[in-house]
């Protein structure tokens, strides 16, 4: 069936996407697609230009979708589909006010993100990047009883901040390492925590009793800056801190202080503020801080699945039909 050009919905895609995802989008025959055809983010001015008159926007987590962008898009805008499960880059109050629907990508990235978080935890606790460096720089002189020792998971207490989809998937993966107690904190106790013998505890208990703290909550006004000086000062000196949620949950100056003073043993971060973290950032001078470039969901199949889901969300939104993963606003 031929769709007249004037009936086509205008969509703007803020980054180059896979040919497979483009195919789903174009073969649906309902959209006129324009995209920022680059691996790098569109400059703000191009984003503001690109969204003009759009019925739908497919964006990345690095695109700040605020009132200015929504105003630039104008009254046609029906849907924002983000290629992420996190939606802290969307001004939801403004989105809601304008009656715009939001699509996101929960579940499909849970396993990949949990896997990477466990890898980061182990790499940080067992000092793997430091070891690699020593092999390359000649620092490996012989086997020594306490050289490059860290702390292991066996018999440990792990604290998960935010036992949601990803927090739960991390817990399931950690328990077989011989974790003795799994504590978690959040707004509400989770019935599914029984599967990992999770104990719902006040945040302070989690901080003081954990050997490993993993942050896997969403970024909200409540969690912004949650891990600050007071937080780190309550942690054990031997404890390891891992964050795979959002950089803004952490006060990075306070983290630097805690790491450099020996207040805590080590930190592994998959997320930072800003992203990318400038190469001269103080955290990058520390041997006990492992920083990854936000690669939690970065497996080929996960990213393909996320893209297909984001495109389907976009198509549902512009047509006013069901979206496979619509955020309840
Ligand atoms: P969920 O919504 O399933 O889980 C989020 C959890 O955060 C919920 O359990 C919620 O608990 C908890 N939470 C909210 N407020 C607080 C609080 N004040 N204290 C403690 N916990 C709180 O989301 P996902 O597990 O799917 O994703 C979580 C986050 O992970 C995303 O929002 C995103 O920021 C990040 N992420 C990072 C990736 C990476 O590449 N590093 C990849 C994918 C996601 P409650 O229900 O009690 O409110
Ligand atoms: C998300 O989805 O929120 C991640 O940060 C990237 O996959």
Is the beta carbon of 297 within 6 A of some atom in ligand 2? yes
- For the chain, percent of residues with pLDDT exceeding 90: 98
Q: The pTM is what?
A: 0.97
User: 261 with 282: CB under 8 angstroms?
Assistant: no
CB atoms near residue 281 (< 10 Å):
17
User: 313 with 326: CB under 8 angstroms?
Assistant: yes
Is the beta carbon of 61 within 6 A of some atom in ligand 2? yes
From CA 151, how far away is CA 225, in angstroms rounded? 27
Strand, helix or coil at 327?
A: coil
Atom of ligand 2 nearest to the CA of 298: 7
Q: Which of 6, 55, 281, 294 is catalytic?
A: 294
CA of 193 to the centre of ligand 1 (A): 15
Give pLDDT tens digits for 27-54.
999 999 999 999 999 999 999 999 999 9
**Among protein residues, the one whose CA lies closest to atom 2 of ligand 2:** 84
CA of 30 to the centre of ligand 2 (A): 28
Give the DSSP H/E element, type plus range, for residue 268. Answer: strand 266-269
Residue-wise DSSP of 240-251? EEEE-S-GGGB-
From CA 326, how far away is CA 311, in angstroms rounded? 12
CA atoms within 13 A on the CB side of 314: 32
CB atoms near residue 29 (< 10 Å):
10
**For residue 176, how far is the Cα from the chain centroid?**
24
pLDDT for position 6: 55
Is the beta carbon of 282 within 6 A of some atom in ligand 2? no
In this structure, what token pair is assigned to residue 308?
Answer: 């297909």
Instruction: Give the full edge-to-edge strand order of the sheet including 266-269.
Output: 198-200, 181-185, 157-161, 212-215, 240-243, 266-269, 289-291
Which residues on neighbouring strands pair with residue 102, listed in sequence order? 80
Active site residue 294: yes
Give pLDDT tens digits for 170-206.
999 999 999 999 999 999 999 999 999 999 999 999 9
From CA 117, how far away is CA 216, in angstroms rounded? 9
Give pLDDT tens digits for 286-319.
999 999 999 999 999 999 999 999 999 999 999 9
User: Is the model's pLDDT at 212 over the cut of 70?
Assistant: yes
Pairing between β-strand 56-59 and β-strand 9-13 as defined by DSSP bridges: parallel
CA of 188 to the centre of ligand 1 (A): 13
Rounded (5°) CA angle 87-90-91: 130
pLDDT for position 2: 46
From CA 95, how far away is CA 46, in angstroms rounded? 20
Q: Please give the ipTM for the structure prediction.
A: 0.99
Mutation choice for ligand 1 from 162, 163, 202, 294, CB with most ligand atoms inside 8 A: 162
User: Is the model's pLDDT at 208 over the cut of 90?
Assistant: yes
- Is the torsion defined by CA of 45, 48, 49, 51 positive or negative? positive
């Amino acid at each position: 069936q031929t769709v007249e050009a004037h009936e086509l919905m205008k969509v703007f895609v803020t980054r180059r996407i896979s040919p497979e995802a483009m195919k789903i989008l174009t073969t649906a025959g309902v959209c006129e697609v324009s995209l920022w055809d680059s691996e790098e983010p569109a400059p703000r001015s191009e984003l503001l230009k690109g969204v003009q008159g759009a019925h739908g926007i497919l964006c990345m987590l690095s695109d700040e979708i605020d009132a200015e962008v929504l105003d630039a898009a104008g009254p046609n805008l029906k849907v924002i589909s983000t290629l992420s499960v996190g939606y802290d880059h969307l001004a939801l109050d403004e989105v809601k006010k304008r009656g715009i629907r939001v699509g996101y990508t929960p579940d499909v990235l849970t396993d990949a993100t949990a896997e990477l978080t466990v890898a980061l935890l182990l790499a940080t606790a067992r000092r793997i990047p430091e070891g690699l460096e020593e092999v390359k720089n000649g620092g490996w002189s012989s086997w020594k009883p306490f050289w490059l020792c860290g702390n292991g998971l066996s018999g440990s207490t792990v604290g998960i901040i935010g036992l949601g989809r990803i927090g739960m998937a991390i817990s399931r993966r950690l328990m077989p390492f011989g974790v003795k107690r799994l504590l978690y904190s959040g707004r509400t106790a989770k019935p599914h925590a029984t599967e990992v013998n999770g104990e719902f505890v006040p945040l302070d208990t989690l901080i003081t009793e954990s050997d490993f703290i993993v942050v896997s909550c969403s970024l909200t006004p409540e969690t912004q800056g949650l891990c600050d000086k007071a937080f780190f000062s309550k942690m054990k000196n031997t404890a390891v801190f891992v964050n795979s949620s959002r950089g803004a949950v952490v006060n990075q100056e306070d983290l630097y202080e805690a790491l450099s003073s020996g207040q805590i043993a080590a930190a592994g971060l998959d997320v930072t503020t800003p992203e990318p973290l400038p190469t001269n950032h103080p955290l990058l001078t520390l041997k006990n801080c492992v920083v990854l470039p936000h690669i939690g969901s970065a497996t080929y199949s996960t990213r393909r699945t996320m893209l297909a889901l984001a495109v389907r969300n976009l198509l549902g939104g512009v047509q006013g039909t069901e979206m496979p993963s619509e955020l309840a606003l």
